[in-house]
């Protein structure tokens, strides 16, 4: 066992760690724009058509800026409990409208003159419910379920996380959202609240993430920490990453050249066999109750 003492529960960050949000959001924005621009029933102003002449790289930049607003939003609410509560779904809609307005792709007060109308923008804001998993995600989670509780611990709201689990076939034993604890990560109430819901001490829990700031906050709450590198996800500088690695507060490190959650399962003493691959393609994910447990456990 690569961790000592062995944890009883693995709690996972989701955006970036489990799913490739960047590729999915970029693709879906570009596809939606193509559909809108080629819809003969839409009356899109010429200057908006010219403004919407984006490349895939341009849509990728918009996706990244949209994601950046989420980071600012969740951090601000975590730092100031008096901030009025807003779900991640609500933030995604509000921030998308703001970004599209700033880019002159829609116009305030003229819902039918822009690239998308209000109903289409609302549907587009829900892209985050259907993000593609990394290739190792589903198989790795299935393998880890043989020995551990596997739980989301994400800032995403519960309905968002349940939809992602279904879409990406992430067969969690529990779904936990920060909204259950009245704050967002990196607030200690989120990590400690999840451990309490499981009936475990923090030391019996390990946080799995591709963001060192998430792991640092979990470590400060007494969790063990597992870092799984994912492309373009780390906000720490190279020097800060090196300091984290030498500092010893990351208990287990899965490098980019390894196989993500499959490597993690192997490091934790689980053999990942063809059985997991067959189960990956042949089973539907469980449903989840309001307490975060699967229906089978409820």
Domains and their CATH numbers in the chain = 9-18+132-276 (3.40.50.1000), 21-129 (no CATH)
Q: Rounded to 5 degrees, what are φ and ψ at 52?
A: -85, 10
* pLDDT for 109: 72
121 and 110 in contact (C-beta within 8 Å)? no
* pLDDT for 279: 52
Mean pLDDT for the stretch of residues 105-131? 90
| pLDDT over 90 at 43, yes or no | no
| pLDDT over 60 at 209, yes or no | yes
Mean pLDDT for the stretch of residues 64-92? 96
* pLDDT for 111: 65
DSSP element (H, E) containing 33: helix 21-37
Mean pLDDT taken over the chain = 92
Mean pLDDT for the stretch of residues 267-285? 66
| pLDDT over 50 at 283, yes or no | no
Higher pLDDT, 190 or 42: 190
Compute the chain's Rg from CA coordinates.
20
Residue with tokens 């779900």: 87
* pLDDT for 113: 75
199 and 297 in contact (C-beta within 8 Å)? no
Three-state secondary structure call for residue 254: strand
- What residues form DSSP beta bridges with 151? 11, 174
* pLDDT for 280: 47
Ramachandran category for residue 167: left, alpha or beta (phi over 0 → left; psi -120 to 50 → alpha):
alpha
Quickly count: other Cβ atoms within 10 Å of residue 266's Cβ: 17
| pLDDT over 60 at 155, yes or no | yes
| pLDDT over 70 at 296, yes or no | no
Nearest to 76 by CA among 85, 66, 67, 65: 85
Quickly count: other Cβ atoms within 10 Å of residue 195's Cβ: 23
Distance CA 261, CA 201 (A): 24
Half-sphere exposure of 290 (CA within 13 A, CB side): 0
177 and 156 in contact (C-beta within 8 Å)? yes
Residues 6+ apart with CB under 8 A from 33: 52, 54, 59, 115
| pLDDT over 60 at 294, yes or no | no
**Confidence band for 194, pLDDT divided at 50, 70 and 90:** very high
**Confidence band for 295, pLDDT divided at 50, 70 and 90:** very low
């Amino acid at each position: 066992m690569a961790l000592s003492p062995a944890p009883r529960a693995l709690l996972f960050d989701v955006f970036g760690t489990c799913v490739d949000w960047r590729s999915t959001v970029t693709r879906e924005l570009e596809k939606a724009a193509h559909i809108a621009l080629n819809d003969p029933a839409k009356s899109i102003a010429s200057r908006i058509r010219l403004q919407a002449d984006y490349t895939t790289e341009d849509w990728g930049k918009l996706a990244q800026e949209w994601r950046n607003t989420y980071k600012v939003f969740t951090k601000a609410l975590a730092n100031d409990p008096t901030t009025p509560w807003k779900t991640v779904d609500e933030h995604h809609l509000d921030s998308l409208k703001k970004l599209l307005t700033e880019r002159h792709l829609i116009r305030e007060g003229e819902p039918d003159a822009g690239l998308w109308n209000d109903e289409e923008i609302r549907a587009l804001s829900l892209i985050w419910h259907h993000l593609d998993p990394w290739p190792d995600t589903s198989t790795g989670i299935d393998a880890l379920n043989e020995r551990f509780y596997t739980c989301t611990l994400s800032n995403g709201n519960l309905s968002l996380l349940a939809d992602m689990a279904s879409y990406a076939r992430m067969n969690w034993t529990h779904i936990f959202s920060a909204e259950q604890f009245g704050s967002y990560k990196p607030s200690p109430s989120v990590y400690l609240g999840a451990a309490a819901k499981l009936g475990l001490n923090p030391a019996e829990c390990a946080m799995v993430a591709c963001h060192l700031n998430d792991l640092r906050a979990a470590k400060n709450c007494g969790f063990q920490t597992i870092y799984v590198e994912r492309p373009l996800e780390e906000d720490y500088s190279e020097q800060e990453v090196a300091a984290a690695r030498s500092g010893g507060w990351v208990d287990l490190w899965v490098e980019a050249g390894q196989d993500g959650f499959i490597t993690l399962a192997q490091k934790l003493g689980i053999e990942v066999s063809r059985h997991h691959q067959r189960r990956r393609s042949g089973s539907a994910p469980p449903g989840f109750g309001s307490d975060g447990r699967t229906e089978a456990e409820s």
